[in-house]
Each structure stands twice: as structure tokens, then as C-alpha cells.
Chains A and B, each alone.
Chain A
Amino acid sequence: MSSKMQSSNNIAQARRTVQQLRIEANIERIKVSKASADLMHYCNEHAKYDPLLMGIPASENPFKDKKPCTIL
């Protein structure tokens, strides 16, 4: 690759980097306090639907081994 091509590749790369940084710099950011509050609220609301957190009644647990039946 000629050095002219190489430097124009480097410039192209630098342009892309700057363009990407512009996109990332321009976003709106919320405060971490608000973000945390929303996450805590979400966890709280959904905790009751989380079997790994709250446990699950045996009757609803598809993985619980069923007791063997005897045919009379």
C-alpha cells in the first residue's frame, strides 16, 4: 500500500472515530439516582414473579419429582 493510500485510510478511520464520538457525546443522560430508583422499582414490582428469588410452590414446580403412583 502506498503511503498516500495508508494516510488516507488513517484519515478515513479518524473521521469515523470522530463521527462515532459525536453521536455518543450528543445523547441525553439521566442521573444515576433516577436510573437506580427505576431499577429498584422494577425489581420490587417483579419479585413476586421470580421463582429463583421467592421460591415456587411444589404444585407449580414442573421440575419437582413427582411421587411414584401405585396402580391399584
Chain B
Amino acid sequence: MGEMEQMKKEAEALKTQIEAARKAAHDTDMASAASGVAPAPRVQLKTRRTLKGHLAKIYAMHWCTDNRLMVSASQDGKLLIWDSHTGNKVNAVPLKSSWVMTCAYAPSGNLVASGGLDNMCTVYNLKTPVIKTVKELDAHTGYLSCARFLSDTEILTSSGDTTCALWDLETGKQKTVFLNHVGDCMCLSLSPDMNSFVSGACDSLAKLWDIRDGQCKQTFQGHTSDINAISFYPSANAIITGSDDCTCKMYDIRADQEVICYQDAALNSGVTSLDLSASGRLIFAGYDDFNCNIWDSLKGEKVGELKEKKKSLSWREC
């Protein structure tokens, strides 16, 4: 048997082995296990601020770790830094390229980053007397879909070139390239301990990566279309994904499989963004039909809606 044939055979055998192991672990699903849990209390959600200032579509936003400041990115060619408590704009950063798709706030609050169809991730220092570009990270061969700072010296990016990368902000070079997806990487989420991250891609797979050794540790399947949004559960043992297949899913990392699917026959728009409430109990998911649905993450039931905007919701952050 040629080597190619042998490897195909081994690959099939391994896939069968993985499926069997997952099945053996599947003694229940999340919704059934949570059937005895009291329904999530109905909270009245009130709009407290409407932040006006951008002149074109807003593609992304990210909270600062102080839970007060936030950065938003618009295809009007600007990043705006907002004080959410007062509603005031604190800073405006003009972008070289207005085709921005993502923005990020460093945990220190000192830096922000943006990127998009320019294939680059540009990092800005907010603390210098005049906001300065500190680095232009240029190595991806596809659009920048997401960026997240680990610190003031390291940033993670995901790209339409199907790779994710960890960059050294002092040298401006890629330290590690994460190779395994076969479709555009659309989103990423850092684990709370920052030792790993998950990525979602147009190959309909979510992957868990070890940041330090660059290895893909686990692959989560089940979605039937692009994964546009992904987030770690605050407990760090699960991830939530949102997809163009109109569903969100929870995958448990230690069980290595999908444990619940958030879907409704009436929903036929793709999920474009999502985030979780502080305890993880509530999932806020934005859809292409301009709605935001709120799901009980344990019971799999829709528990509310945020119906306000007239345009598609591109980002939700709790």
C-alpha cells in the first residue's frame, strides 16, 4: 500500500476513534442536565446610552478592562474611544485605511489596535501627548478579522489568510503562526488565563490552540457554515460560537464536543456577534436580521430580545 493510501486509512481510523470517544462521553446533553435548574430571572434591560459620533457602519467594539472605556471602529475611518459612564468621546484615532474590521483595547489601557482589509494590524499608543502609531504588523496575506492584546508586548490576530498569529510588539514580528484552519479565520477569543485561545473560521470549525507551543489541541465541529463569533465561557471550560447557519452552539472543552445548540425554527439569519453576561448564564447574540436574541446558556431557551437598532448588529459586548 502506498504511503498516501496508508495515511488516508489512518486518518479515517483516527476520525472514527474520535467520534466513538465523544459518543462514549455523551451520557447526556446540557439542556437535559439543566432541566431542573430554575429559569433565568427576567431582568428588564434598559438602554442607558446611545453613543453617537460615527459617520458610517460600525464594525467592531471592545471594552477596556476598567469596564468604563471602550473603543469602536467604523468604516468612516476612525477609532473612537468612549467613556461609557458619561457618554463622551475621549479620543479619536484617524485610520490610514478606512476598511477596518476589528479593534482591540489592551488590558493596560495604554494601547489600542485596529485592522481590516489592509491585511495589517496597527497598534496605537493612547498615552503619548499625541496618539501615535507604535507598530504596523504586516505579514498576513489576508484581511485582519480580529485582534486581541495579551499585554502591551503581545497581540493575537486572526486573518482571512486562514491563519492566526501571535506577534511581538517590540519587534513587530510574528512569534508564532497558528496553522490548521482551511477557511478564513473570522474570530478569536482568549482564555481567561491567556494560555490558550479559540478561533472560528469559514471552514465551520472552531479550534482550541496552545498559545505557547502553537499547537492546535482540539477541533470542534457541528456548524454547517462560517463561524463569525466565538467566546470563552467565563469558567474557561466551554466556548460559545455563532454561525451563518443561524445557530449558536456551546462546546465543552473537557468533553470535547457540542453540548447544546441555541436555535429556533423562526430564526433564519446568520449570527454575526455574541457575548456572555458575567456569570455566563446569558448569551447575547446579534443576527443579520438586525435583532439581538438573549439565550439561557444552560437551558437553551430564548429568554429575551434587544430590539432597537434598525441596522444589522455587528458587535455585542457585555
Contact = CB atoms under 8 A, between A and B. Distances in A.
Interface of A: 7, 10-11, 14-15, 17-18, 20-25, 27-40, 42-43, 46-47, 49-55, 62-65
Given A18-B7, A18-B10, A55-B44, 16 more contacts: A11-B3, A15-B7, A17-B7, A20-B216, A29-B21, A29-B257, A32-B255, A33-B27, A35-B255, A35-B259, A39-B233, A39-B237, A40-B34, A43-B297, A55-B43, A65-B48
7 contacts: A24-B216, A32-B255, A35-B259, A36-B30, A38-B235, A42-B234, A50-B281
B25 A29 contact: yes
Interface in B227-267: 233-235, 237-238, 252, 254-257, 259
Given A35-B252, A53-B43, A21 B14 contact: yes
Contacts of A49: 278-279
B11 A33 contact: no
Contact of A52 (B29, B238, B282): B282
Contacts of A36: 28-30, 33-34, 252, 259
Interface in B195-252: 215-219, 233-235, 237-238, 252
B85 interface: yes
Contact of A40 (B7, B14, B33): B33
A21 B259 contact: no
Nearest to A52: B277
A4 to B, nearest CB: 13
Given A43-B280, A50-B278, A63 B48 contact: yes
Contacts of B49: 63
B298 A40 contact: yes
A15 B3 CA distance: 9
A42 B33 contact: no
Interface residues of B, number: 58
Contacts of A20: 180, 216
B216 A23 contact: yes
A20 B235 CA distance: 27
B129 to A, nearest CB: 28
Closest 7 CB pairs of A and B: A36-B33, A63-B48, A46-B279, A50-B279, A21-B14, A35-B252, A42-B235
B7 A11 contact: yes
Contacts of A18: 7, 10-11, 14
